[in-house]
Structure 1
């Protein structure tokens, strides 16, 4: 509820104030990634008692070290692909019938033919007006207006469902076709270890 959210924010502000005033180290355990990055100077992500990543909040938020951490940090679209060749400073990844470009530096650990996973945040997927690199057509399965964003569920782009969050109100109808752009610099690339 709105009251709960307001109380959480007030609590976070108060914890930060007390930390600063007393100059003490504080360990906060949370399952809320937004709370973790807003309160922390350093974030440690753990699973089953094992440390998976340690880093500054923005580093862990923007460049999670694994798909598990990306999922925890709020990434919602995960695409399975196969590493293909290179094109300039871009690496090509075949995802179903489409070939996507990712920065070569983000795909350094991949060699041609490697299975991989691409992760991207909902807010980084954009609607597009025309075809181009990293643009794919899909069909809107659902559209939910959330105030600051319109959350879409889009099928037909890839084998996986895609979840864009379009800024402000997006006047799209369920069943309509939409052209989506996946900015290369916003992909996180992982070798798919099965």
Structure 2
């Protein structure tokens, strides 16, 4: 069976000319790998009965110059019985100073969507944040940014790698609770990252 092609708006995957040293931190932190050329873990599938849905996310370069700045591109594909189509897509970048990257996305049993990701800039220690949308919200939009944990330090001399094991999942028991995990630094150092696991759910999901 042929795999269908679903067209989506263009995005810029070329962060810092594909250099691993890209996303800035406050000094003396090293620049971090954006992994911008990859769709991030995972493409989540859910069958709602009336339709099937897949949600995906990845980083996109929001800057128009050589200084790359990460934003989150996300999309929902749907099959209503006639084949897969792009149901909605959006770019989440609520300010022009911070990079947001390494996202992970999931969808609960009511069709609400959550995205967790890392955030960093020259003035913001790498931390963990998330945003959500309810199923009835305007297509392509996300709600306000929420803090899971603020970073207490920066990464130094660790090969530029960062948080590529990030994962957003939905609790298999209640079908409502989102669980997100990724890395951060409580104190500045090298290869001394911590892992934060957090949970939340959309109001009204029971």
Q: Is the structural similarity TM-score above 0.5?
A: no
When you count helix as a share of all residues, which structure comes out higher? Answer: 1
Work out which of the two has the higher radius of gyration on C-alpha atoms and give 1 or 2. Answer: 1
TM-score w.r.t. length of structure 1: 0.24
